[in-house]
Amino acid sequence: MLIERTQFHFFGKTELNALYATLGLIYFGESLVSVFVPVYLWKLEFPLWQILFFYFLNSLFFVLLTFLALPWLRKLSDKMMMFLSIPFLVVYFLVLKLISDVPIMFYVAPFLLACSGLLFNVGYNLDFSKATDDKKLGREVGTRYTVGALTQFAAPFLGGVLIAFIGFSGTFFVAAVVLFIAVFPLFFFPHHHLPLNLERKALVSFLEHPKLLTLNLACAGYAMETTVGRVIWPFFIFITIGGVENLGGVVSAGLLASALATYFVGFLSDGGRRRKALAWTTSLFSLVWVLRLFFKSVPAVVGSNVGGNVINAALMVAFSSQLYKITRLAPNPSLFILSREVLYQLARVFFLPVLMLLAFVLPMDIFFLISFGMAAILALSFLFANKFHSHMIEETRML
């Protein structure tokens, strides 16, 4: 461990508050734009398969950067990683503005997003896993998701309104300003360094160790399902209801509805019901995707988005609590965190080309149906996390 466990209570609450402030600002700034990126590329006349290729490049760059930059990452603290991630995200939004005039920026933008994602996700998860209280882990994970939902719920609607009045370029600039402000809370908590023995071979071992198979299947399924949920589903909403303002309003409604569910499930997780919560939310979320195969009307799509967000938020709290609990027991927590991030993107590197091929050869309505059916099956992979037990991570100490 990088910091003794007895230190958690000394700085944990202050650190978490600063962490929540940074997270809230980043979520808000990113949510002003991120949900509209596929729509933006669509309006620039990119076909759907090429929009998916944009996200494939992001995942591919992330995996390559991780292995190439590993020696450099060892020199950075978690706070410095989060700090450096923000300029990359700011420049990413500014580069998006240039794609119509400078086509090569279509390939630069996902690279910048990958740089930001690598730095922030590893830095943030490392800090959060160090600052949380063992006995209140589910509650603090729930609070994290609640803070995210509450701070970003208005952002998609506001982003849609801004796009309608000042266009995509102006909205990208507004998001960049908000992200710049997100830097300041980072100065109010201590930093933790990655271990010096962070090696590529050890990272790969976490991805292929047989004792981690069930957990890795759950994480890979999560990564592929969220690709459908975060890229294809919002695009489907846009196609169904029309207009970026309407899309923003629907997404905002779903985020608001999910806020209370996250905190409630956090309490269930702390009460020893984490596995039960994971099991029933997984089943319900898979059912949501099945029902979406039959939804065509605007009211049905809107209702599905709101209800699906509530169930998904509850599922994410249970799943994330499980992951953070495992992280604390891992022989090298930092390496375990990094291995999860690599696994998410590696799964998408293989999954996105399948979606690209389907989008290229199928009519759009059939593509949506197949994508939602795949998401329903992939959602069930969260159940694999319940097959993983604490003693299994202890048995990987030979890594």
- 283 close to 314: Cβ distance less than 8 angstroms: no
Provide the pLDDT for residue 23: 72
Structural domain span for residue 158: 5-394
In this predicted structure, what is the pLDDT of residue 99? 93
In a domain, 399, yes or no: no
Determine, yes or no, domain membership for 342: yes
Q: Identify residue 298 by its one-letter amino acid code.
A: V
DSSP annotation of 386 reads: G
The CATH number given to whatever domain includes residue 278 is: 1.20.1250.20
Counting as low any pLDDT under 50, the low residues of the chain are 1-12, 129, 131-142, 269-271, 398-399
Q: How far is Cα 45 from Cα 39, in angstroms, rounded to an integer?
A: 10
Tell me what pLDDT residue 311 has.
Answer: 86
Q: Is residue 207 part of a domain?
A: yes
**pLDDT tens-digit map of 326-364:** 777 777 777 787 888 899 999 999 999 999 999 999 999
Which two structure tokens, joined as six digits, stand for 70?
Answer: 């590993």
Q: Record the tokens describing residue 85, joined without a space.
A: 């991630």
Task: With respect to residue 302, please indicate whether it lies within any of the assigned structural domains.
Answer: yes
Nearest Cα residue to 331 out of 216, 204, 217, 202: 202
Question: Which residues neighbour 157 within 8 Å (Cβ) at sequence distance 6 or greater?
Answer: 245, 248, 249, 251, 252
Rounded to whole angstroms, how far apart are CA atoms 238 and 240?
5
Among 345, 330, 347, 333, residue whose Cα is nearest residue 381: 347
Residue 30 in contact with residue 89, Cβ under 8 Å? yes
d(CA 108, CA 110): 6
What CA–CA distance (Å, rounded) separates 314 from 257?
11
User: Is residue 331 in a domain?
Assistant: yes
DSSP lists the bridge partners of residue 393 as none
pTM: 0.83
Using alpha carbons only, how large is the chain's radius of gyration in Å?
20
- Whether 139 is covered by a domain: the verdict is yes
Number of domains the chain is built from = 1
What per-residue confidence (pLDDT) applies to 258? 62
Residue with tokens 């005039």: 101
Longest distance between any two alpha carbons in the chain, whole Å: 58
- Beta strand segments in 59-182, E: none
Q: What is the DSSP letter of 297?
A: S
